[in-house]
Amino acid sequence: MDVLQQLLPYIGWAITAVDAEVGRLLATDWSQPYGADARPIMHFVFDGGQLDNGSQIVIQEAELDGFDFVSPADLPGYLPAYGLARVRGALRARDSGRTVFLPHEVS
């Protein structure tokens, strides 16, 4: 069983009707959403490939209301600044073939 197949049930997602393989690590960063005294959280973004549509995605409705596919230009309307930086960094990494670390300051 590959890493993606192990990870998806842990976060409550399942992919059906598609042979999904985890791709390379695109970006990593950390956050402290609960302030400087809280333990930091590491974030890892892997290349999960591309789907033609969302019919293969089954969401756990108790945790997620839905999903949408949006263009990179539309991301600012969907993500807070820290999430936007993470996704934009991952897109740059995918295009460049390199992994990026996205450092930031904690306020």
**106, part of any domain:** no
**29, part of any domain:** yes
Predicted confidence (pLDDT) at residue 7 exceeds the cutoff of 80: no
Confidence of residue 54 (pLDDT cuts 50, 70, 90): confident
How many H helices and E strands in the chain?
2, 5
Q: What's the length of the chain?
A: 107
Confidence of residue 103 (pLDDT cuts 50, 70, 90): confident
For residue 104, the number of C-alpha atoms closer than 13 Å in the C-beta half-sphere is 22
**88, part of any domain:** yes
Share of the chain above pLDDT 70, in %: 76
Helix (H) or strand (E) holding 30: strand 25-31
Tokens linked to 103: 């450092």
Predicted confidence (pLDDT) at residue 60 exceeds the cutoff of 90: no
Q: Structural domain of residue 83, as residue ranges?
A: 3-101
Return the SS3 of 28: strand
- Domains of the chain: total: 1
**26, part of any domain:** yes
Tell me the sheet residues that pair with 29: 43
**107, part of any domain:** no
